Structure 1
Amino acid sequence: MDVSNPAGFWVRLGGNIVDGLLVSITLGILAGLIYGQWFSLETTWLDVLGLPYYLLVPVFWYGYTVGKRAVGVRIVKLDGDNVTFWTMIKRDIIAGLLYGITFGIAAIVSAFMIGIRKDKRSIHDFIAGTYVTHDPPRSPYESGK
């Protein structure tokens, strides 16, 4: 395992904030257009529309989301290859379930792992076999595939 140029806690948090704002504002506008209100405490089908953003955008955009691109980091597999749909399911859905089952305690542990560990990997990185790096995508000629 060769973790190259890992991204730390604050830059990852910044990217997550940008992504969260982007998804929230977009879904808020959709909710306003469809339901006539921008915010609701009720769960609707719109709440699940943010999930494809987190699952698919990194797969099709070399590990970037808008927020990660804004702060200059991306998600990669441990071998340096681009993430796949299955990788993102493990990273977001399976790890998200773990975070929920532990009432957020695992998420707090993950934050400390990013801040303390030399490789900056968290629980969801271990589950998915990924890490977050400042390195740009490799060219197709470098991967040997």
Structure 2
Amino acid sequence: MQDGIVIGEGVVLDARPASFITRGMGAMLDFIVVGAVIMTTLIVGGVWFLERAALSEDIAWVVYVVATVVVMVGVPVTIETLSRGRSVGKLACGIRVVRDDGGPVRFRHALVRALVGVIELWLTFGGIAAITSLANAKGKRLGDIAAGTYAVRVRGGRPPSAPVVMPQALASWAHTADMRRLPDGLALAARQLLGRAARLAPESRARLADDLAGRIEPYVAPGPPPGTHPEAFLHAVLAERRERELGAGQRERKRAEEQAELLHRLPFAVADPPR
């Protein structure tokens, strides 16, 4: 069973980590495209500046140290901060760096990643980062662990699923049926089947729908009307679960608003004095 939050319709909300190969390709593209351009610009510009200014050897070392810091830290931090976690390589590979809670990375996250990356990416040619990513369940390198970030896929995911619609013939039955005992796992399996039903062979589609409807029916009382098509039964159950969960959420929000309003009133329901 896949981990995640299962809502009433049986949909799992998750952000899938990018694979090791995808992250490696993105890092390689970043190094080739961004690193080569920046290094060439800094070297050519530094040589031209030193020849024109006739600076001393000490000042020349300072210039190269500053250039190295800019390449290793300044540029990655700037790109990740402005692009919200999408460098050139990550954009090409369809991945993005996000926080552990799924939010966009900020300056401090990019800075920590870049500082740790000096050791695990530049000084070891990516060796430490590769070993750490392979050992981590989310493919994190040391910079991600320190910053609280990881790379997720933003392209190439699952195709959009077919919508769940309440069959009109089963609407009155579904509104009165008790389906509170239906496990989330079965609801998820039904949602996945309906989402890819159009891409299945007719024989496999009918067999899977009939099997899944038979597994769900014991958790629904009373059962569907005789002669109900298995897929129509699944649609009705998932659509009704979705509506009930939406209604429960709205009632809970309304009750919270009423309680918050009572907290702002004076004791014993005395009206607030006029201002």
TM-score for the superposition, normalised by structure 2: 0.40
Work out the number of aligned pairs and report it: 126
Deviation at 1:28, TM superposition (A): 0.9
Deviation at 1:116, TM superposition (A): 4.1
Q: Does 1:63 align with 2:85?
A: yes
The 8 Å contact of residues 120 and 128 in structure 2, kept in 1 or not, is answered as no
Between the aligned partners of 1:34 and 1:14, the Cα distance in structure 2 is: 30
TM-align CA RMSD: 2.8
Q: Which amino acid aligns with 2:70?
A: L
- CA 1:90/1:34 → structure 2, altered by over 3 Å: closer, same or farther? closer
Q: 1:117 aligns with which of 136, 141, 150?
A: 136
Residue 130 of structure 1 corresponds to 149
Between the aligned partners of 1:117 and 1:99, the Cα distance in structure 2 is: 15
The secondary structure found in structure 2 opposite 1:113 is helix
TM-score for the superposition, normalised by structure 1: 0.71
Deviation at 1:113, TM superposition (A): 3.4
Query: Which of 107-116 and 117-126 deviates more?
Result: 107-116
The 8 Å contact of residues 8 and 114 in structure 1, kept in 2 or not, is answered as no
Structure having the higher Rg: 2
The 8 Å contact of residues 8 and 115 in structure 1, kept in 2 or not, is answered as no
Deviation at 1:133, TM superposition (A): 0.7
Deviation at 1:53, TM superposition (A): 1.8
The 8 Å contact of residues 59 and 82 in structure 1, kept in 2 or not, is answered as no
Residue 20 of structure 2 corresponds to 9
- CA 1:79/1:29 → structure 2, altered by over 3 Å: closer, same or farther? same
- CA 1:20/1:99 → structure 2, altered by over 3 Å: closer, same or farther? closer
Q: 1:48 aligns with which of 62, 69, 74?
A: 69
Between the aligned partners of 1:55 and 1:135, the Cα distance in structure 2 is: 21
Q: Does 1:19 align with 2:30?
A: yes
Q: Does 1:29 align with 2:41?
A: yes
Q: Which has the higher contact order (CA 8 A, sep 6+)?
A: 1
Where do 5+ consecutive residues of structure 2 fail to align? 5-13, 49-60, 156-275
The secondary structure found in structure 2 opposite 1:81 is coil
